[in-house]
Amino acid sequence: MKNSLLKGTAAMLCAALLMQGTGLSFPKSANDSYTLFASAAEADYPWSTYLKNSASWFGTSEAIQVAEDCLTYQLSEGGWQKGMGTEHTGDWAHTTIDNDATTSQIRFLMRTYGQTGQQKYFDAAMKGVDALFKMQYSNGGYMQCLNTPGTYHAHITLNDGAYVHVMEIMKEMRDKTGDFTAVSDAYSAKAAASLEKAIQCLLDMQIEVKGVKTAWCQQHDENTLAPASARAYELPSVCTSESAGVIQFLYKEAQATGRADIIRSVNAAIQWFKDVTLYGIKFVSQGDDKVVVQDANADPLWARFYDIDKQIPLFSDRDSSVHYDVSEISQERRTGYAWYGNWGKNVVNLALLEEPAEVEPEYTGTLISSLLVHDTKNGGSWSIQKNLKAGSTIYGDRDFTVTTLNNALAGAEYVQTACNSKSYSGNLAELTAAQDILVYVLIDLRLPTEQGVTPDWLSGWTERDIWLTSSNTVSYLVYEKELKAGETVTLGSNGTDVSVVNYFAAAVPAPVIPETTTTTTVITTKPPILKVLTGDVDDNGIVDVRDAVMLARIVSEDTGTGVTAQGLINAECDGAENIKSGDLKVLLQYLANSIPDFPV
C-alpha cells in the first residue's frame, strides 16, 4: 500500500502540471489512439500508469496489494467511487464511471486474475461489470453515477472519456479479447447487447444543427437525449474533448461493421471538427493569467465548447453566464480550466469513410411477398419474423418483447420494425401480400387515447377488439385490413411522436368462405361478444381495450372518467368487493384470452 500511495502522490503532481497546459490528453499506448484524461481519481491510485505496465507486473506484490485494495473499497452496488481511497458523501458516494473509476478497477482485477489465477479477483471484476450493466438506461446511455436520480449525475455522461471506457470493456467482452478472454459466453452475449445499445444511443444523441450532424455534448439528458449542463460553467454545447474519443471509437466500429448509419455519423463529426478548427492563435500563460494571442505559425486549435446554434467558441463562468470571448470570464475560471486544446488533431486526420449508396431494403416472407422499407437510416433493423407469440421481440433495435396477445394474432407472421423509425416523417414501407391475408397494424395505445392522434393513413382500416401488451408496459391498439394476393398497402408514418414507440405489423391468412348451394358461412377471427356486462366499464355494450383504460383510471382514483353507475357495477371483475387493481388484472387477462371467463 505504501508504494501505491507514493505513486499516487507523484500522479497528483503530474496531473497538476498537465492541468497548466492547453492539452490534457495523451494516448494509452503507442498502439491506441483513444483519448485519456488526467483526472482527480489519479490522486490516490494512478490507474493510467498502472495499466501501462507489462502483464507480468500484475503478478507482483505491489499489484496484488492494489487488487486487494480494490476488493476492500468495492461498493455493495458493485462499482467504485472516484478517488477509490477517498471517502465521499452524497451522490459521489455511489458507483461512478467518472474520472476513470470502476472501469479501471475492473481492468486491473482482470489482469491480476490473469497472472494469479485467484478467483476472487475475477468475481470482483464481474461484480463491477454487473454494475456497468445497471448503469445503462434502456435507451443505451450510461449514467455518470448509479442510484442518483434527479441530479445531473444521472445524466448520460461522456465526460473525460467515461462512456468510451465502458464501450471498450463491452467490446472486449463481446469478442473475448484483451483483458476479457476468460469471460463466460453469457457475459459475452450480454456485453454485445449492451454495446449495440450504447452505439445506437450515441447515434441518437449526436447533435444536429439545421439538419446537419455535428458532434456530442459532455452530458446528455437521460430521457430526452438532449445536451445537458454539468457543472455551472459547463453548459449545453458541442464539446470537442469528449467527442474526439467517441469519434475514434465509432470510426473503428464503422470500419469493422460497414454500418451505413455509423459511417454517416462519423463522417459528419469529422467534417464538423474541420469546420470549427481555429487557426493563427495560441492560448498562453501571461503572468498569473492566460490570454489568447495571435500567431500565424500556431498549430491548429479547438475550443472546448461550441455554441450549438452559433457554432462559435463558448465560454462560461461559475454563474453560468454565457460569453464568446474567454477574456470576459473571471481570471479564476480562465486560468483554472482547459478552454482550448488540440483535441481535434487526430480527428481531422482521419480519412472520410466511403458511404454506401442508400438502397431501400426489401424483405420477403411467406404471407408477405415483399416489404420495401423507405426509412433507409433504420431499415437494417427491420425484418419479417414468424410465429408471433409471448416472448417475441417486437423491434429490431430494442429488446422489448410481447407479454400478452389475443389468439387472433397468435402464430402470425409479423413485421419487426425499428422503434427509431417512429421519427421518420414519410411513409415507412410498402407491404405486398403473397396470398389473401389479413394485415394488422399495432399502434401504441398512448397515441389516440392520451394525445388524440391516430395516423391519417389508418382511416381506411378497421379497429379491432384485439389486445396486445409488451415488456416495456405498452399496450397496443390493433387495426385490420384485408389484402388480396398481389395487393400492396402503404405503412405510413407513426406521426414522428418520440414520446411513444413505433407501430409494428402482422399478417395471418384471410378467412376462407366455403362454397355451398344453400347458405354461405363466413369464418371470422372476431372475438365473441360477452354474454354478460362484466368488464364493460364504459357501459357501451361490449368489452374491449377502452374498458381497460377506463378501469385503470378508476383504480388510480381519477375522478374525471365519467363512469356510469352501471359501469361501476360492470367494473367488478375479480369477484371481490370494491374496485381495485385486482379487477384490472383480471380484465386484462380476459382481453388477452389468458382466462376463459370472469370469476363472477
pLDDT (tens digit per residue) in 137-147: 999 999 999 99
Q: Is residue 504 part of a domain?
A: yes
- Domain closes at, from 306, 333, 356: 356
Are the CB atoms for 584 and 590 separated by under 8 Å?
A: no
For residues 46 and 133, membership in a common domain is answered with yes
Has residue 182 been placed in a domain? no
pLDDT > 70: what percent of the chain? 89
C-alpha cell of 265?
A: 455519423
* Predicted confidence band of residue 314 (pLDDT cuts 50, 70, 90): very high
Number of domains comprising the chain: 4
Question: Do the domain assignments include residue 476?
Answer: yes
**pLDDT at 208 > cutoff 80:** yes
pLDDT of residue 25: 32
pLDDT at 450: 66
187 and 181 in contact (C-beta within 8 Å)? no
Query: Residue 33 pLDDT > 90, yes or no?
Result: no
| Mean model confidence pLDDT for the chain | 87
3-state SS, residue 430: strand
pLDDT confidence of residue 467: 77
Looking at the fold, whether 100 and 220 belong to one and the same domain comes out as no
Main-chain dihedrals φ then ψ at residue 281, nearest 5 degrees: -135, 160
Q: Grid coordinates standing for 490?
A: 402503404
Does 256 lie in the same domain as 115? no
**Is 171 inside a domain boundary?**
no
Residue 117 DSSP SS3: coil
Residue 177 lies in a domain: no
Q: Can you tell me the mean pLDDT for 419-432?
A: 92
| Best-predicted range by mean pLDDT (147-156, 300-309, 349-358, 460-469) | 300-309
**Residue 456: pLDDT above 60?**
yes
Residue 172 pLDDT more than 60? yes
Residue ending a domain, among 509, 536, 556, is: 509
How far apart, in whole angstroms, are the C-alpha atoms of residue 396 and residue 377? Answer: 13
Burial 294-315 (b: 16+ CB within 10 A, else e): eeeeeeebbbbbbbbeebebbb
CB atoms within 10 A of CB 342: 18
Which pLDDT value is given to residue 514?
65
Domain membership of residue 431 (yes or no) is yes
Of residues 19 and 473, more confidently modeled: 473
- Say if residue 46's pLDDT is above 50: yes
pLDDT of residue 524: 45
- 411 CB-contact burial (10 Å; exposed 0-12 / middle 13-18 / buried 19+): middle
Across 437-461, average pLDDT: 87
Give yes or no for a contact between 248 and 347, defined as CB atoms under 8 angstroms apart. Answer: yes
Quote the cell numbers at residue 150: 434527479
Domain enclosing residue 594, as ranges: 528-600
pLDDT tens digits for range 108-152 = 999 999 999 999 999 999 999 999 999 999 999 999 999 999 888
pLDDT band per the 50, 70, 90 thresholds, residue 406:
confident
A 10 A CB-CB count for 541 gives: 9
Q: Which CATH number fits the domain that encloses residue 574?
A: 1.10.1330.10
* Secondary-structure breakdown of the chain: helix, strand, coil percentages, each rounded to the nearest 5: 35, 20, 45
Same structural domain, 334 and 368: no
Give me the mean pLDDT over the 189-201 stretch. 95
